[in-house]
Amino acid sequence: MIPTKMEDLINAQINAEMYSSYLYLSMSAWCSDKTWNGFAHWLRLQAQEELAHAMKFYDYLNERGGTIKLAAIAAPKADWKDIPAIFREVYAHEQKVTGMINAMMAEAIKQKDYASEIMLQWFVTEQVEEEANASEIVATLEKIGPATGGLYHLDQQLGKR
Ligand code: FEO
């Protein structure tokens, strides 16, 4: 059996990953609305990845004989100032998620829950990539500044993801 505290943390993380998916889908919708189709595409794929993360935790909890408890998913915001504001928020959100994964890992180690530790290692690695991807986009947007041409080029590039 999985320790109760870990079961609670995984259930909370299923909700957090679902929320991430919702947030990125809302950002994608904002970009589509402004015909930034490449950014919309990137964010939509990211929303799908977050859903896959939620299901990875879901399957793991099932396999360990835990009880899945699905809570309400909070409504994400729906408006942003501009494209850089969106990606700054993506980066900040990923940093927050990394903190949650690290707290889970610390609990798994404390509880000597080795199976959860091994499962969480995948997420620790994943978060390094998630943060790197977001911070690279933020850095590129900072270089571009207010130049619409540069923004258009990045939109085209991210549309190829
Ligand atoms: Fe599920 Fe973007 O971390």
Task: Read off the pLDDT of residues 18-73 as tens digits, 9 standing for 90 and up.
Answer: 999 999 999 999 999 999 999 999 999 999 999 999 999 999 999 999 999 999 99
CATH of domain 4-70+83-158: 1.20.1260.10
Alpha carbon nearest to ligand 1 atom 1, residue: 50
pLDDT digits over 104-134, tens only?
999 999 999 999 999 999 999 999 999 999 9
For ligand 1, the distance from its centroid to the CA atom of residue 100, given in whole angstroms, is 10
Does 17 contact ligand 1 (Cβ within 6 A)? Answer: yes
Strands (E), 23-155: none
Does 20 contact ligand 1 (Cβ within 6 A)? Answer: yes
* pLDDT for 146 beyond 90: no
37-63 and 148-158 helices, crossing angle to 10°: 40
For ligand 1, the distance from its centroid to the CA atom of residue 130, given in whole angstroms, is 7
Give the C-alpha separation, 9 to 66, whole Å: 11
Average pLDDT score, the chain: 97
* pLDDT for 147 beyond 90: no
Distances (CA, A) of 116 to 94, 106, 107: 21, 11, 9
78 φ/ψ angles, rounded to the nearest 5 degrees: -125, 0
Work out the average pLDDT over 79-102.
Answer: 98
Enumerate the domain spans of the chain.
Answer: 4-70+83-158
For ligand 1, the distance from its centroid to the CA atom of residue 78, given in whole angstroms, is 19
> Which atom of ligand 1 has the smallest separation from the CA of 126?
3
Does 113 contact ligand 1 (Cβ within 6 A)? Answer: no
